[in-house]
Amino acid sequence: MHKLGRGHRDKVQQFIAITGASEKVALQALKASDWNLEGAFDLFYSHPQFKSFTDSRHLEELYKRYKDPYADMILADGITLLCNDLQVDPQDIVMLVVSWHMKAATMCEFSKQEFIGGLQALGIDTLEKFCERIPFMRSELKDEQKFREIYNFAFAWAKEKGQKSLALDTAIGMWQLLFAEKHWPLVEHWCQFLQARHNKAISRDTWSQLLEFARTVEPSLSNYDLEEHGHTSLMNLWSTYKKMV
């Protein structure tokens, strides 16, 4: 590695510090991504050839540590213990990213298949490796496509079992969490408006459309047009909101 320039050496060290990979693997991933650090992370976590094999015994031990004593799954107490071990607040958005990687069906629950399958896909089989992956998972929120996937995943993950819509209070909490990352300036106005004037559960259509709305409509609503944006439940709500501001 002494033949590398300082910038490349720094990236190798950063890659190793975050992933726990060997210097050889770090060099392979960085060279394959043309020395783009984020691209190298994506390669490492999405391509098995860049990851070390996970030890099924270690995965079983991890699962048993967090498994509920009365059910064959990880429930709220186990997730709280996991967060303590990772030194992450249970309300931290990175736990949503963890759940997305595990393809978890329900908030505050991991089935054995979800937990072990998600960790295998991430190349994690120890708590130390899990801790090392947290910065990478947090960085995924900065990727536009991944943020969209995580945002859309959050609807089904957060809604009550058997319900088609998302309870308003839950939707507001999720929007505040997600849009704190995207820095959408209207999120608080939108949530206050819904509580005062809507007070109904949020449909999947409304949930999905809001992300595009936040991305394309100016905070002043100066470029908002009902005809252009469509006669949907979300746009009708925004028409009412616009008349109030």
pLDDT in tens, 141-200: 998 999 999 999 999 999 998 899 999 999 999 999 999 888 888 888 888 888 887 778
**Would you call 112 exposed, middle or buried from its count of C-beta atoms within 10 A (0-12, 13-18, 19+)?**
middle
For 28-79, the pLDDT digits (tens) are 888 888 888 888 888 787 765 555 556 788 899 999 999 999 999 999 999 9
Topology (CATH level 3) of domain 6-50: Helicase, Ruva Protein; domain 3 (1.10.8)
Strand partners, 111: 73
Distance CA 233, CA 207 (A): 10
Domains 56-141 and 144-244 share a fold: yes
Averaged confidence pLDDT in the chain: 85
**Burial status of residue 163 (CB atoms within 10 A of its CB: 0-12, 13-18, 19 or more):** exposed
Q: What is the pLDDT of residues 230-241, one digit of tens each?
A: 445 555 565 655
Q: Which CATH number fits domain 144-244: 1.10.238.200, 3.60.20.30, 1.10.10.10, 3.30.420.80?
A: 1.10.238.200
* Domain 56-141, second-level architecture: Orthogonal Bundle (1.10)
Nearest-angstrom CA–CA distance, 91 and 12: 32
Task: Give me the pLDDT at residue 231, please.
Answer: 42
Bridge partners of 73?
111
Each domain of the chain, given as residue ranges in start order, spans: 6-50, 56-141, 144-244
Inter-residue contact 36 to 21 (CB < 8 Å): no
Cβ neighbour number for residue 44 with a 10 Å cutoff? 26
Tokens 């030890």, residue located: 55
For 173, half-sphere exposure in the C-beta direction (CA atoms, 13 angstrom radius) is: 12
Contacts of residue 162, defined as CB under 8 A and 6 or more positions apart, other chains included, come to none
> Per-residue confidence at 220, pLDDT binned at 50, 70, 90?
low
Report the predicted TM-score, pTM, of the whole model to 2 decimal places: 0.75
At 81 the pLDDT is 98
Instruction: Give the confidence band of 18 by pLDDT, cuts at 50, 70, 90.
Output: confident
Complete DSSP assignment for the chain: -TTS-HHHHHHHHHHHHHH---HHHHHHHHHHTTT-HHHHHHHHHH-GGGSPPPPHHHHHHHHHHHS-TTSSEE-HHHHHHHHHHHT--TTSTHHHHHHHHHT-SSTT-EEHHHHHHHHHHHT--SHHHHHHHHHHHHHGGGSHHHHHHHHHHHHHHHSPTT-SSB-HHHHHHHHHHHHHHHT-TTHHHHHHHIIIII-SPBPHHHHHHHHHHHHHS-TT-TT--HHHH-S-HHHHHHHHHHHH-
Please name the amino acid found at residue 127. L
